[in-house]
Amino acid sequence: MCGIIGYVGKEPAAPILLESLKRLEYRGYDSAGITVLNSTLETYKTVGKIADLESILPAEIKANVGIGHTRWATHGRPETRNAHPHVSSGVSVVHNGIIENYLELKEKLTELGYVFESDTDTEVIAHLLHHNMNNGTPSCDLLAAMHKTVRDLEGSYAIAALCCNEPDRVVFARKDSPLVIGLGETGNYAASDVTAFLKHTKNVVFVSDHEVGYILPNAIRIYDPEGKLLEKSPETIEWDLEAAEKSGYDHFMLKEIHEQPTSIQNTFAGKLMELEGTVRMNELYLNPEQIKHLRRATIVACGTSWNAGILGKYLFEKLAGIHTDIETASEFRYGNPVLCGEELTIAITQSGETADTLAAVRSSKSYGCRTVAITNVVGSTITRESDSIVYTRAGPEIGVAATKTFTAQLITLYMLAIHMGRTRGVITADEAKDLIVNLKRLPGQIQRILNRKEKIKECAQQFADKRDYFFIGRYLNYPVALEGALKLKEISYIHAEGYAAGELKHGPLALITEETPVVAIATKGHTYDKILSNIKEVKARNAVVIAVANEDDKEIEKYADMVLRIPASHEMTSPVLSSVVLQLLAYYTALAKDCSIDKPRNLAKSVTVE
């Protein structure tokens, strides 16, 4: 995610801001910038690394107050004009999060005469703050303007702001994006992560949702939404710097598993129209008639993205009535695909740089197919190669084994399928509403899984010495089985295979022994009775069965040796929950074996060569 730092104190601000931004580099970013306040605001920003930002700074900046930012692009390409901070006539702002209603706000502000210099959602905050400070009777200070401004914002935000008329403070606000205050001996800090200031202080105050406040050189003030001053006691952070970069988690992978409630919410933010029973997909450059006349869709992807694509195939066929093929991108262009102009190619790539997937998109375009890319990286190569780009908003993923990017891809595929299904008249508004409601429940349901992960850890430790694992599932749970097996083999180096459960008797049963744990995804749905039969098959061969099942399923314990529970959920959305369980199973297995979890051997995060 993006990184924020604000400082007010006795020391020169610029070196502290730069040092803090370097501490936040692990979060991933594509541009950086700072604003310092002396007698006027001075803003410096650029695309690239913090070293590039340092190179454009004057030799000496005497200001003792400032804000800084590292940006991971979500709205607008990685360009200097889109980098933070954003300025509006004496007000400077940095922001993490997504403002869902920024287009409506931008239209209103444009009518009021404000000129936008960027493509970002953040710039509306700067202009709103300026407007709210200067157009009241009487005019107000930056804190009062922040209170007014956040009432108009829909979405998530952590905001830090400066005003040239208030040279001794940084004003902040928070909702759904982290923000923490550091209390230092020579000044105070506001940051998205304690890593930013941990070298200077371990005394912190955590800002909660909907709170607004400011830091002074020797004091802080925090208020509730009604303007009531809050009394908050400082806490002491015991982390070292390496642990702090991981927010206290032992590994980036575990941190990223725990970020999934947020990454999923960010991915569907502003798109799910529950009352209308529709999904807003403004970035999809296909008009209704084109969607109605689609003959076929082809999904191309590699690795984890390919597993997501298999679920996408089922979703498009079930919800949108579109015949859909799933192709391994590395093989696609060598197979002489039969394509035409009334077909759609959907490319899924976390990095947007996967060489095989890029080649498949280029091949599809040569046949006249329309192309849609699902990617996590704004400005990546695939965004220039495809007709439409749908971004997952998972934020940077450091661990090589994909976790939050996988579930963000699944959410995007659900949204595309519902959007196309409604457009084609395959599903009704009520059916779409039901699915939308259940998608919105996923963040909370995932949090419940995370809150009781000890059972999964115990299971992983019990079987960590096994050489082989089978994962089985049917229909929507088949791609979950494939992904569960991939995660386990990637980071624990245990040989694992994922199968469509009905295929067991066609060969794989020969490999089943009492030394082969079998993970069966046995969630409620129309294939539930079938998976129970498959469980009986492997039990008859003395295998130990670990079932992933709904928490209200009382029958499954009659068939399985161990049960890992997910919250009761809609059949169509349960694969997302089961995937989180299997991510934790893989993580704790690798942990028990003392494997290199974040950087497994022989693997890279992005495969940019064939």
| Catalytic annotation, residues | 2, 605
Provide the b/e sequence for 29-61 (b: ≥16 CB within 10 Å): bbbbbbbbbeeebbbbbbbebbeebbeeeeeeb
**Edge-to-edge strands of the sheet including 41-47?**
41-47, 31-37, 65-71, 3-9, 187-191, 180-183, 203-206, 235-236
Q: How far apart are CA 436 and CA 272, in angstroms?
A: 6
**Whole-number Å distance between alpha carbons of 406 and 355:** 19
Residue that the structure tokens 């924020």 belong to: 4
DSSP state of 161: E
Residue 191, SS3? strand
What would the two tokens of residue 383 be? 């965004």
Q: Which of 586, 602, 597 is nearest to 399 (CA)?
A: 597
| SS3 of the chain: helix, strand, coil, percent, to 5 | 40, 25, 40
Q: Furthest-apart CA pair in the chain: how many Å?
A: 81
- Return d(Cα 33, Cα 44) in angstroms, integer: 5
CA distances, 442 to each of 4, 166, 260, 306, 411 (Å) = 28, 43, 9, 22, 10
From the number of C-beta atoms within 10 Å of its C-beta (0-12, 13-18, 19+), residue 430 rates as exposed
In one letter, which amino acid is 430? D
**Which residues, including other chains, have CB under 8 Å from residue 338's CB and lie 6 or more apart?**
none
Question: What tokens appear for 385 in the block?
Answer: 């190669």
How many other C-beta atoms are found inside a 10 Å radius of the C-beta of residue 11?
14
Bridge-based pairing of strands 518-521 and 187-191 is unpaired
Tell me how far CA of residue 286 lies from CA of 280, 310, 349, in angstroms: 13, 22, 20
- H or E stretch at 88: strand 86-88
DSSP per residue over 394-463, as a string? -----SSS-SHHHHHHHHHHHHHHHHHHHHHTSS-HHHHHHHHHHHHHHHHHHHHHHHTTHHHHHHHHHH
- Output the CA–CA distances (angstroms, integers) from residue 157 to 126, 266, 377, in the order listed: 13, 11, 20
Sign of CA dihedral 590, 595, 601, 605: positive
* Residue 15 φ/ψ region, left for φ over 0, alpha for ψ in the -120 to 50 degree band, beta for the rest: alpha
Tokens of 530: 């079938």
Quick check: 305 and 360 in contact, CB under 8 A? no
| CA 511 – CA 465 distance, rounded (Å) | 17
